[in-house]
Amino acid sequence: MIENQNTFISQNLNGCLSRLPASIISLKPAINIYPLNALQRYIALLNNPCLPPYGRELMQTDKTESLLHIARSIVAKVPYCMAITVTEAGHANARIVEPYSLSEQWSVRFLTGRQCRKVQEMQHTGRMTLSYQCDEDHAYVTLLGQAKVLDHDPALKSTLWRKNSDLWFPGGPFDPDVVVIELLVEQVELWCLKLGVAPPPVGLQAAILKRDGADWITLVG
């Protein structure tokens, strides 16, 4: 998987490099260590103060797509994640959930009980955070956004039903206490030591990508 990710990153980012003028490509990195992979090479060049605005804009677009690809691939590896909501007093509560696959539109769904604390807290704020930790890649991805309850569609609950769902919800998908939570992702935070996604100067913060209409932009990274 890591090899495939590196291949995607290299093809995507190096393809963008090939569209840049030679005067930009020849710029020396703004850091003293030679980058370990294509993404780090990009970060080094983006951090160079001599990079003209048009070159930076072109490179930034391709880097955002690559970071989103990495985030999506990490999420796909992790079967469970932490669902985080905030109380009226401002305290954060976290618990493990078993989400379904991240959709092409960057939404995530999972089943839960209507009376659960996370449902009440989510309905109060309208927001939720899902945090995925991938030990294999020394990485984590956090998805933040608006959340809502989809509770009037037994057919939808049936399509999301798993073999172990009866253990938690013995009443089955037609039980009115069983609801579907949907998170529409507005922001992605990503840190991956294995792939060098650790923004400078020393990698103590995550890359941050934010939804901008139909597109995404990189705020940090």
Which of 115-119, 166-170, 217-221 is least confident? 217-221
- Whole-number pLDDT of residue 39: 57
Strands (E), 70-206: 81-86, 92-97, 107-113, 127-134, 139-150, 178-192
pLDDT exceeds 70 at position 97: yes
- Whole-number pLDDT of residue 52: 46
pLDDT exceeds 60 at position 59: no
What span, in angstroms and rounded, lies between the C-alpha atoms of 110 and 98? 7
Buried-exposed string 101-122: b where 16+ CB fall within 10 A, e elsewhere: ebeeebbbbbbbeeebebbebb
The architecture of the domain spanning 79-191 is: Roll (2.30)
- Map out the domains of the chain as residue ranges: 2-76, 79-191
Q: How confident is the model at residue 36 (pLDDT cuts 50, 70, 90)?
A: very low
Q: Is 7 helix (H, G, I), strand (E, B) or coil?
A: helix
- Whole-number pLDDT of residue 38: 53
Question: pTM (2 decimals)?
Answer: 0.74
Q: How confident is the model at residue 33 (pLDDT cuts 50, 70, 90)?
A: very low
Residue of 221 and 111 predicted with greater confidence: 111
DSSP 8-state secondary structure symbol assigned to residue 197: B
Give me the helices (H) in 102-196, please: 117-125, 154-160, 165-168
Q: How confident is the model at residue 182 (pLDDT cuts 50, 70, 90)?
A: very high
- Whole-number pLDDT of residue 41: 56
Mean pLDDT of 40-53: 54
Count of CA atoms in the C-beta half-sphere (13 A) of 2: 12
Residue of 61 and 97 predicted with greater confidence: 97
What span, in angstroms and rounded, lies between the C-alpha atoms of 106 and 219? 18
- Whole-number pLDDT of residue 64: 86
Q: Return all residues near 154 (Cβ < 8 A) that are at least 6 apart.
A: 173, 174
